[in-house]
Amino acid sequence: MSDLTGKVALITGASRGQGEAEARLFVERGAKVVVADILDDDAQKLVADLGVNNAIAVHLDVSKPEEWKQALAAGIEAFGFIDILVNNAGTYIQGSITDTDVDGYRKVIEVNQIGVFLGMQNLAAHMAELGRGSIVNIVSVSSFAPLDLTAAYASTKSALLGMSKAAVGELGPKGIRVNMIHPGGVATEMGAPARVVPAAYDQAPLGRIGQPREIATVAAFLASDDASYCSGAEILVDGGWTVGTRNPWASEG
Ligand SMILES: NC(=O)c1ccc[n+]([C@@H]2O[C@H](COP(=O)([O-])OP(=O)(O)OC[C@H]3O[C@@H](n4cnc5c(N)ncnc54)[C@H](O)[C@@H]3O)[C@@H](O)[C@H]2O)c1
């Protein structure tokens, strides 16, 4: 069980879904957490639940450079430093290449791609001053095995592969580790809208959709000192989905 005592994490998109699960687990494991999201009411409710000594809520639209500066300053004022960044916030659109509106596509780039870049840009200098830091980028199996009708979303997630790997070499000498998680289907607003879990998840080798806490436990590991020699790691958390295609001839023995 990875211990996060004495650490301070800024988690984007932490008001619900996987980010909320990460915030809850990180506090359980001893960290202080900056709950950063555009859903302010949900962020406040979560902080009330976590305890005001353990967490603060900050309004952060990850695509806005000035809001990153404010979030960083608020976190440092509350807890003294931030040595973990979980770039979790994300947005999704689905549609054919023919029908995808270019402004919608640009919006996905702003959040999923520019948002992660700004996160690393704003935290890197602070972490370099500390001489330590762990950045966990929540990517997706879509980055290397995209489904059809996801060109906009998948392309932003593929961009995170290159961006994260470039950061590994740049930030490593400053004591900052950068790692990636590739979730498969996870039961959140994004992965199972309106709580409807598509039957297709039955086809994953583990036969079900993932739960947000199952991503959070991996994020906690990468954020912790248990992963002190991990940088540039990509951890698949997809129930075997992308490697476990079932044998179509299995029933024929
Ligand atoms: N759910 C899945 O099946 C799945 C699979 C692979 C990867 N992911 C990735 O996991 C991450 C978390 O997604 P989730 O499943 O919890 O979805 P979710 O929709 O439940 O949560 C996303 C969170 O991001 C926040 N957010 C959106 N735009 C933002 C912005 N501009 N600034 C700050 N916060 C913003 C939302 O308010 C929300 O709290 C995302 O990066 C997503 O792409 C999800």
CB atoms within 10 A of CB 179: 23
> Does ligand 1 come within 6 angstroms of the Cβ of 186?
yes
Any bridge partners for residue 102, and if so which?
Answer: none
* Contact (Cβ atoms closer than 8 angstroms) between residue 135 and residue 123: yes
SS (H, E, C) 181-217: EEECCECCCCCCHHHCCCHHHHHCCCCCCECHHHHHH
Ligand 1 centroid, distance to 190 Cα (angstroms): 7
For all residues of the chain together, what is the average pLDDT? 96
- Each residue of 176-225: pLDDT tens digit? 999 999 999 999 999 998 788 888 888 789 999 999 999 999 999 999 99
- Each residue of 181-194: pLDDT tens digit? 999 999 999 999 87
Q: Domain map of the chain by residue range?
A: 8-242
Ligand 1 centroid, distance to 153 Cα (angstroms): 12
- Each residue of 139-160: pLDDT tens digit? 999 999 999 999 999 999 999 9
The minimum-distance atom of ligand 1 relative to the CA of 209 is 3
pTM for the full model? 0.97
CB atoms within 10 A of CB 114: 18
Task: Report, as an integer, the average pLDDT of 103-112.
Answer: 98
Catalytic residues, which ones?
153
Give the pairing type, strands 84-87 and 55-59. Answer: unpaired
Ligand 1 centroid, distance to 248 Cα (angstroms): 33
pLDDT score of 246 = 65
CA distance readout (Å), 145 to 92, 150, 192: 16, 11, 19
CATH code for the domain defined by 8-242:
3.40.50.720
> Does ligand 1 come within 6 angstroms of the Cβ of 12?
yes
pLDDT score of 198 = 82
Q: Which of 11, 15, 18, 242 to mutate to test the pocket of ligand 1 (most atoms within 8 A of CB)?
A: 18
Any bridge partners for residue 85, and if so which?
Answer: 10, 135
